[in-house]
Structure 1
Amino acid sequence: MRIVLVGPPGAGKGTQAQYLAKNLSIPHISTGDLFRANISQGTLLGKKAQEYMNAGQLVPDEVTIAMAEDRLSQADTEQGFLLDGFPRNLAQAKALDRFLADRNLALDAVLDLEVPEDEVVKRIAGRRICRNDSSHVFHVTYSPPKQEGVCDICGGELYQRDDDHEDTVRKRLEVYHNETEPIIDYYKAQNLVVTISALGKVDEVTQRAMDALQRAKAA
């Protein structure tokens, strides 16, 4: 299957993308991974992206699109893929459609993870991350550490990232509403959107998503 995953910050896209890609035996392609790979490998696109990032500017669509198209041209995507974080606006969505159409391909589904805005704020603003290892993540409500402010795993200090503060989260949501949400309507016009609730346990959301994708494939 060829799938685009969309949803607001804090919807759990990264987590669900990993599980879904594994269950469907297709590569998970995230924008973050694309940037990191191109920058670490010193590609021309990576160098261009780094220049913009060093200047505190957004990487232009044409650079992001070129990275995505390069990745989608690799052999492991022949049986499908799951895109996470791309496309993030209408220009990128239309570029993806053109890329696929040129190869007589098309998307099978756009999976929209739906989460109430207040829940998004609660999820992100409650996150606490270990200074010693950023993979050690806790939550003041859902998975609190045994001792406040201390990582259960290594004893490191837990802190709240600057972009996890409530006012910043709401600004990120505003950007999502303005830039990314329009692609949902764009794909709805193509009858591709499958919307599911992203509330509940991770495995419950994954099963919900798998069921919805299977229904979309059968249709």
Structure 2
Amino acid sequence: MLNIVLFGPPGAGKGTQSEKLIAQYNLAHLSTGDLFRKHLGEGTELGKLAQKYMDDGNLVPDSVVIDMVKDKIASTTDAKGFIFDGFPRTVPQAEALDQMLGEFETTISGMVALDVPDEELKARLLERGKTSGRADDQNEEKINNRIQVYKNETLPVAEFYEQQGKFNKIHGVGTIDGIFSEIRGVVDQF
């Protein structure tokens, strides 16, 4: 199986690039954001709990996220692989993901990390906020908090995969197709 962790701060282009990776490699998309929105749309208790944290620009607790992810993996056993978009966000989540994948007799093939300067992230998120309807993309204070939370809590995940020899950094500024070409060059080596 080809299992890719697509990594980067909010606004780095993970959603855009994951769509292209899914089409290119026929992967199942596992986005915690999508899982949260599904639960929110259905009004589940997990969805309500996740919304409270997301509205404040904070991470959803690991136990909630891990339960959602494990359910998704278990229900998608015929996939050629997964693209993990926005997950894992903490080292304990990365460790739990490794353990879960081991139960399914597979591993993470590699991490692709999109590197984008903070000012570019802010501009992208504010622009996305004009059309997305997402409150956390329309408020600069919340955007700054999300970027800081990423740096403090999520960035250590890159080191976790670097220690496993699975970390690959891609400059995330340029054309969508140009960035995707660089990503493909890395993924084709997995």
2:45 to 35, 44, 47: 47
2:183 to 186, 202, 209: 209
Note the alpha carbon deviations across 1:103-131, whole angstroms, 9 max, x for none.
Answer: 3211101110011222222322344624x
Change (3 A) 1:109 1:122: same
Change (3 A) 1:107 1:169: same
| TM-score, length of structure 2 as denominator length | 0.86
- By how many angstroms is 1:60 displaced? 2.5
Superposition map of 1:103-122 within 5 A: 103-122=104-123
Q: 1:84 maps to what in 2?
A: 85
* CA distance in 1: counterparts of 2:113 and 2:183, whole angstroms: 9
Residue type of the partner of 1:67?
M
Q: How many residues align?
A: 186
Residue type of the partner of 2:187?
L
Q: 2:15 maps to what in 1?
A: 14
Gaps of 5+ in 1: 136-159
Change (3 A) 1:22 1:125: same
Gaps of 5+ in 2: none
* CA distance in 1: counterparts of 2:10 and 2:165, whole angstroms: 24
The answer on whether the counterparts of 1:49 and 1:63 sit within 8 Å (CA) in structure 2 is no
Q: 1:60 maps to what in 2?
A: 61
Give SS of 1:3's match. Answer: strand
Change (3 A) 1:77 1:3: farther
Residue type of the partner of 2:28?
P
Q: 2:152 maps to what in 1?
A: 178
Superposition map of 1:150-165 within 5 A: 163-165=137-139
- By how many angstroms is 1:211 displaced? 1.0
Change (3 A) 1:115 1:25: same
* CA distance in 1: counterparts of 2:124 and 2:49, whole angstroms: 32
- By how many angstroms is 1:38 displaced? 3.4
Give SS of 2:154's match. Answer: helix
Q: 1:5 maps to what in 2?
A: 6
Residue type of the partner of 1:6?
F
Q: 1:190 maps to what in 2?
A: 164
Change (3 A) 1:66 1:111: same
* CA distance in 1: counterparts of 2:76 and 2:14, whole angstroms: 24
Give SS of 1:129's match. Answer: helix
The answer on whether the counterparts of 2:29 and 2:84 sit within 8 Å (CA) in structure 1 is yes
Quick check: which has more Rg, 1 or 2? 1
Q: 2:35 maps to what in 1?
A: 34
Higher helix share: 2
- By how many angstroms is 1:50 displaced? 1.6
Greater displacement, 55-64 / 12-21: 55-64
* CA distance in 2: counterparts of 1:76 and 1:98, whole angstroms: 16
Give SS of 2:145's match. Answer: helix
- By how many angstroms is 1:212 displaced? 1.1
Calculate the aligned-residue CA RMSD, in Å: 2.5
Greater displacement, 9-18 / 112-121: 112-121
* CA distance in 2: counterparts of 1:162 and 1:2, whole angstroms: 29
